[in-house]
Amino acid sequence: MLIYVDDVIIASNDLAEIATVKQFLRVISYKILGELKYFLGIEVATSTKGIVLCQKKYALDVLADSGFSGAKPVSFPMESTLKLTAHDNSPSLSNPPSYRRLIVRLLYLTIT
């Protein structure tokens, strides 16, 4: 069972066990939305062999929202000799909140 705020996902190989959990939860008002397809940025596909989780759509959305959907991959994305310091003369970010949002989304993508 996975609970996130007011969403509950029940998964098991044993349908009788799922029925038992639903019976236990009958005191709570809830809706059964059917088979899970998408949850918190994670696509869910089921087959007879098991469950497959994929974040391709979420990753593509992050790229599109940040303006990198047309970017080409590189082997090393920054200068290898660059020295980073806390007090450099780089210009300030033009939109810090969008940068923070990108970082949060990338962290979520890597953690999940």
pLDDT tens column, 72-107:
888 877 787 877 777 777 777 788 888 899 999 999
Cα 102 to Cα 99: distance, rounded to the nearest angstrom = 5
Is the pLDDT at 54 greater than 90? The verdict is yes
Return the half-sphere exposure (C-beta side, CA atoms, 13 A cut-off) of residue 52: 7
Distance CA 88, CA 81 (A): 15
Reported pTM: 0.65
Mean pLDDT of all residues in the chain?
Answer: 85
What value does the mean pLDDT take over residues 54-74? 89
Closest CA to 63 of 4, 20, 105, 10: 105
DSSP code at position 48: T
- Residues 23-41: pLDDT tens digits? 888 777 777 788 888 888 8
Are 44 and 51 contacting, i.e. CB atoms less than 8 angstroms apart? yes
